[in-house]
Amino acid sequence: MQDVAHDYWSVWKQFVLQGVMQEDVLPPSLMQSWRRCAALGLDPYGELPGYDDPRLTTTIPQDLLSLLRPAMEDLHQFAEGSECVVVFADAQARIVEIVGNRTMQEELVHLGLTVGALWSEEQQGSNALALALQESFPIQINGAMHYRAALHPLYTSAAPVHDLMGQTIGVLGVMGHHEHCHPHTLGMVTSAAQAMSNQLQMQVWLRNANDLLSELKTILQTLPEGILLLRRDGVVSQMNAPAGSMLGLTPARVTGRRLRDVLPLPTVLAQALTTYQPLSYEELVFDTVHGRVTCLCTLQPLTSYRAETGLEGIVSSVGLTTSESTVADGFVLILRSIERVQKLVHRMTSARARLTFANVIGESAALKEALRVARLASSSNSTVLLRGETGTGKEIFAQSIHNSSPRADGPFVAINCAAIPRELIKTRYLIWYNQFQGLSHHQCLCRVPA
């Protein structure tokens, strides 16, 4: 190592004194760095600038800050006995943390290595921290490879740390006396930096997964249907509040227990869970603490495909025909209150009558008589038959009679008799059929009792 350092010292001296670069000796990145330092007018013999300002804020993400000291202490432990220090700098090459040999730390303070100090190329000349950030690649610089003579007694070894998107967010480095420099040092620094990058990425993935899980739980709780997630053995892993309300259970107390242990299961549901068969809108009755509850149930097994080799994969998606069995890893049980379903059907199939007798315009004696008779009919429970040609206002009278009747809050269902085959009318409304004789279909509008 001393011979190599001496050779670099000759190359360095020739460059700083004569401006001559031996390109066959130096790595390309280091040659470019020396040229940049010379172009900046840095004095290679000058003192290193020290800088320490605790008010400065770092650009290091909080997730990475929590990883720094443990990872740096582990790295220093691997290099124990080499009298080195482990440093971490942010993307601007500002020192954020220092760990290592106390004597070596005190020695490096005089060379400007303090928390808050800038070790960029513009400040400290060519060094591994600055070049690792510049090149986004691990690098080790020993002795006279540094541009400033004050750093010649040292070696600096550094590797960048990347975020999830591959951007360099900091650099991990090791510094020590140049006689202790070893190629293995760069390997250790590179491995530690990569481990920090991997752990940082895993924390981002874990946080995203937790955020997604939180969103899914929120959605699960806001759905009006009762939803239960069951493991393969029937243990409840998730239950939303509507499911607990329908079944008379407390989700927090049921989670982690088998559903059949906390609630008697209908035979159809119990068999489906045992045989891993799905159910589709099955009307089931549950015996709960609040009494018998009727629900429309949908059971969907969550399946994966296991081949005989034991490997898992969705082989059906690529059309494989290997001998494999479908195994339910769990179930999704959806409960819909039968009362809510009935109300929904009622809402979807029913219409509201909006017209009243006040909407009937006219002053003729015949119209007034029709209004009088219609008002009498509205208070009756008898079926009303309206007769008239197309466009004479049968719809207005039908809605007005409905809105004036005691059943005004109920549904108003309009039936277009012209669209119904005569044979169907004979079958379903046989009692009325005789009243329709002699009438054309378009002359009739029926008010069907609710």
What pLDDT digit, counting tens, does each position of 191-215 carry?
999 998 998 888 888 888 999 988 9
CA distances from 305 to 103, 229, 278, 322, 324 (A): 61, 20, 17, 10, 7
Which residues of the chain does CATH 3.30.450.20 include?
224-340
If you average pLDDT over residues 253-274, what whole number do you get? 92
Q: What is the CA radius of gyration of the chain?
A: 42
Q: What is the pLDDT of residues 68-114, one digit of tens each?
A: 888 888 888 887 667 899 999 999 999 999 998 888 988 898 888 99
- In this model, does residue 346 exceed pLDDT 80? no
- Residue 390 pLDDT: 81
* 161 burial via Cβ count (<10 Å: 0-12, 13-18, 19+): buried
> How far is Cα 319 from Cα 321, in angstroms, rounded to an integer?
6
- Count CB-CB contacts under 10 A for residue 133: 24
Closest alpha carbon to 401 in 423, 380, 425, 428: 380
Q: Please compute, for residue 363, the number of CA atoms within 13 A of its CA located in the half-sphere on the CB side.
A: 0
| Structure-token pair, residue 155 | 């070696």
Q: What is the pLDDT of residues 171-187, one digit of tens each?
A: 999 999 988 888 889 99
Percent of the chain with pLDDT over 90: 33
Which residues of the chain does CATH 3.30.450.40 include?
2-204
Q: Is the domain covering 224-340 a CATH 3.40.250.10 domain?
A: no
Q: Is the domain covering 350-447 a CATH 3.40.50.300 domain?
A: yes
- Residue 87 pLDDT: 94
Q: Tell me which of 124-133, 175-184, 210-219, 350-359 is least confident.
A: 350-359
> How far is Cα 144 from Cα 150, in angstroms, rounded to an integer?
9
Considering the segment(s) 2-204 as one domain, its CATH architecture is 2-Layer Sandwich (3.30)
Find out whether 161 and 168 touch, Cβ atoms under 8 Å. Answer: yes
Find out whether 143 and 47 touch, Cβ atoms under 8 Å. Answer: no
If you average pLDDT over residues 277-306, what whole number do you get? 86
Which residues of the chain does CATH 3.40.50.300 include?
350-447
